[in-house]
Structure 1
Amino acid sequence: MRVFSHVQDTPSRPGRISLSDTLLAAAQNVQAVLAGRSLSDSLAATDPALRASAQAVSFHVMRRLGLATALREALVPRKPTNPLLDALLRVALALLETAAAATDPDAESRPGREVPVYAPHTVVDQAVRAAGAHRKLKPFKGLVNGVLRRFLRERPSILAQALRDPLAQYNHPQWWVERLQQAYPEHWQALLEAADRPGPLALRVNARRAHVEQVLDAFDAAGIEAFSPMPGAVVLAEPRPVQALPGFEEGWWSVQDLSAQLAARLLPVHDGMHVLDACAAPGGKAAHLLEQADLQLTALDFDAQRLARVSDTLQRLGLLSGKVQLRCADAADVHAWWNGEPYEAILADVPCTASGVLRRHPDIRWLRREDDLARTAALQRRIVDALWGVLKPGGHLLYATCSIFPEEGELQAQAFMRRHGNAQRLPAPGQILPIIPVGSADSCSRTIWPHAHVQGVDAPFPVTGDGFYYALFAKKG
């Protein structure tokens, strides 16, 4: 994600955004993540005028936080007692190292277009200004200036010292790296690298209101480069504010990752079926199911605020009707919400570590702890076992997670089969990794759709979906 062109390198003026303002806002977001708050929640509280630029910088720092932390420790071994100062130093050091790498002739790779790159002297100047503009940071202006200028003077030796720390090498917690090494001995490095590249902006076309060619024509008329990598999907060459794209207000499409778009196609549904979308928020998969068939759908979620987003999504797409019920409850506590009528199809997109969506939520790696994996796996078991009891014999349950950890995927599916003798496992993609381009020989899209590209048009650039897992079960009887 790039910093928008309206971000200035000069001090704040009415109607303009300075880089110093952006750096300070990004530091506040980084501080929030280090304190255990999600970056999405923190950004929602950021000044709307600063949100876009602060998000670009914050996302980049999250992807380089291991290195930024090691650099700060090399330069300031004693952790600052002021957490905002610590965060500002990490933000500035991440940007300085990116700027240096962009001009280093010996660097193995260069920052992509989506990475915010500023001249080193600009970063130093604006970081010092940011410190001076904040009451609690003003006494540390000299420290900020000295630390950053020392890094520029002594970069090779300081960088070499920092990179001795595996956290700086991989920009992931050590336990995360070890889990991937164990699960994917041939692909763990590619998975770590993929997590540090922003994912493409993918859209799912609402078949009840538009078709792919219509959307592509509208984008082309607006000068927006896009293509369709598989039926019903459109991918943009560069991310843009979604509200400004043609067809948003008309409900022509929804933002949905390519891997997530498989869910509604894998679950067998037809007109008139009684269907449950458990853990439904924010509503993308529920909407996709309703786009495919005229269903009696129950959308369930335990979070009332997130459930409200399901309503908003369905309303915008023209899919909210009397046949759709929104229920706020714990999916595992069936007595709190089930009326006794079995469902013919259930989508169980259960809570997980979200380890497959780091491209879009780079803060997740820093928020999760290793013991979270056992807790989410236990919660998943509780939910799917409860949902299996409300599924009609002959019906289907699709188990889905946006995770790449086997404990939340294949191991979970195998354990489910051992617990339920009346379950029959049906073909499904299984584990999807965010390193396999859609339409390639290894892509699951080949299994579901024989033609990976609309009208035989090759993709102008390779695209991959998020890390996801799917297992489909039929209930015998």
Structure 2
Amino acid sequence: MKPTPLPKQKNLRADCAWVIYQILENGKSSRDCLERVQRRHNPRDNAWIQEMSLGVMRKLPLLQNWLRGLLDRPLKGNKKVIEHLILLGLYQLAFSRVSQHAAVGETVNAAPYLGGTGLKGLVNAVLRNFERDGLADKAIDNPIIESGLPKWLYKAIDNAYLDDADAVREATNAMAPIWLRVNQGKISRADFIASLEDADIEFQLSDQHGDGILLSKRQDITSLPGFHEGHFAVQDGAAQMAAQYLDAQPNERVLDCCAAPGGKTGHILERTPSLAYCLALDADASRLARVHENMHRLGHNPEIKQGDASDLSSWWDGKHFDRILLDAPCSATGVIRRHPDIRWLRKASDIDNLALLQRRILDTLWTTLKPGGTLLYATCSILPQENREQIQRFLANNEDAILSPIVKTETPEKPGRQILPGEQQMDGFYYARLVKSISK
């Protein structure tokens, strides 16, 4: 698909349609697209653009089903972006608080900003016909369309979770809450809680998370008390379990592999500030910039390196680690509720490729772990091929690998803890802890 440039003049709905187009047609992440667009708008409009564009991602199969019935033929070439503007209009009419007049009128008026002056009549007719025919109220007898998921992922969840599949899909489509992690190297949890109370910010506490706080309402994070002072980080409750399960001890050498954007690195250092050495490693230079920013704000100073985890010559100094956190590259199917564009950026074929990459990194990092050391394998996936099956294979192929159970029910045949989306308000995550035997 030929890239469509960002409209020269800003327009709320045109810019939102451009984000949707970039995700669906060019495979761009919502984070990258939203960053470009949101430089042009005020905070209130930015929140609207994010809500609408990600809402379209959640309801895409249904919106596309409606669109196919409303268009005589698909739009092509540089007019394709107008289809995405129409999808935005349909979403406003069916699922938002936007008035019918604004949803139709302002969406029609946005077409010229996207080069669609001659298609204003088409946009208007499609949206008016949608309203006239009452399509939003007509049932769709297709569970895959209703699920809001691609067919391959719908079936993968069926195969993995059987009778619980509907509940997993429902949680995958829910809105994710905002979790904070108190940086207790700078402020006590009690004092941070007091600062939230003084600012009349509603929150909940979690018994499982000694550093975690769950906001009751969505907030502008940068306006929260203590943001600029590094008093907290934004980190989901499931991700906060990593430092707890790794359990690094004073004077140890620790590797956080695939560390960007640095949330887990920061938490490890906050829990154990007297480490002998901590390395944050990632292959992506642009994402490592985020690690530097976050470490600076939080007041941490790990070594930060760019390198391919499966190529030791690109980063390893030859000194073995006491503990390794491998936050492996994965499908991110456990965080779709937080990043709904992921469902359209992943394909079924990606899972096999990711599993091979995970295997290569895991096998390589194992050689850098001291005898008696601990490796914590983590993904934000809910697919067994990336999780339980990966660790089953590793245990079967490495005699010096011993499962260190996180939960009592673990066995080498069923290793690790799978956290499902929505479980205790957390994202979907998988953890397995392995210890390297002192002698084979």
> TM-score, structure 1 length as denominator?
0.83
- Shifted more, 257-266 versus 133-142: the winner is 133-142
Measured in 1, the distance between the counterparts of 2:332 and 2:19 equals: 20
Change in Cα spacing, 1:276 to 1:428, as seen in structure 2 (3 Å) is same
Superposed, 1:371-410 pairs within 5 Å as 371-410=349-388
Residue 263 of structure 1 pairs with residue 253 of structure 2: no
Match of 2:108 in 1: 128
Q: How does 1:169-184 map to 2 (within 5 A)?
A: 169-184=146-161
Residues 403 and 211 (structure 1), Cα distance of their counterparts in 2 relative to 1, 3 Å cut: same
- Give the drift of 1:250: 1.3
Residue range with higher mean Cα deviation, 331-340 or 176-185: 331-340
Quick check: 257-266 or 311-320, which moved more?
311-320
CA distance in 2, matches of 1:52, 1:398: 36
Partners of 2:23 and 2:345 within 8 A in 1: yes
Structure 1, 366-375 or 264-273: larger mean CA deviation: 264-273
CA contact (8 A) 2:419 2:428 kept: yes
* Alignment partner, residue 293 of structure 2: 312
Matched, 1:275 2:254: yes
Give the superposed CA RMSD.
Answer: 1.5
- 3-state SS of 2:240 partner: helix
- Asked if 1:25 is matched to 2:15, the reply is yes
Q: Tell me which of 236, 243, 261 is aligned to 2:222.
A: 243
CA distance in 2, matches of 1:54, 1:139: 25
Helix, strand or coil at the partner of 2:230: coil
What is the rounded CA distance, in whole Å, between the counterparts of 2:72 and 2:428 in structure 1? 37
1:450 aligns to what?
A: none
**Partner deviation per Cα, 1:242-300 (whole Å, 9 max, x = no partner):** 11000111111100000000000001211111111111100000000100112210110
CA distance in 2, matches of 1:30, 1:45: 13
Range with greater deviation from structure 2 (63-72 or 386-395)? 63-72
C-alpha change, 1:375 and 1:337, in structure 2 (3 Å) is: same
Contact persistence 1:69–1:168 (CA under 8 A): no
Percent of aligned pairs with the same residue? 39
Alignment of 1:53 onto 2:48: yes
* 2:435 is the counterpart of 1:474: yes
User: Which of 172, 183, 195 matches 1:206?
Assistant: 183
1:292 match = 271
Kept after mapping to 1: 8 A contact 2:52/2:91: no
- The answer to whether 1:34 aligns with 2:24 is yes
Partners of 1:156 and 1:202 lie apart in 2 by: 37
Q: Which has the higher helix share?
A: 2
User: Per-residue deviation at 1:436?
Assistant: 2.2
How big is the shift at 1:157? 8.6
- Give the aligned partner of residue 112 of structure 1: none
Counterpart Cα distance in 2 of 1:292 and 1:216: 19
Say how many residue pairs are matched.
409
- Whole-angstrom CA distance in 1 between matches of 2:337 and 2:103: 25
Distance 1:466-1:182 versus aligned 2 partners, 3 A rule: same
CA contact (8 A) 1:423 1:476 kept: yes
**Distance verdict in 2 for CA 1:466–1:269, change over 3 Å:** same
Give the gaps of 5 or more residues in structure 1: 1-16, 99-115, 438-463
Match of 1:436 in 2: 423
Q: How does 1:339-350 map to 2 (within 5 A)?
A: 339-350=317-328
Aligned to 1:454: none
Q: 2:426 aligns with which of 451, 465, 471?
A: 465
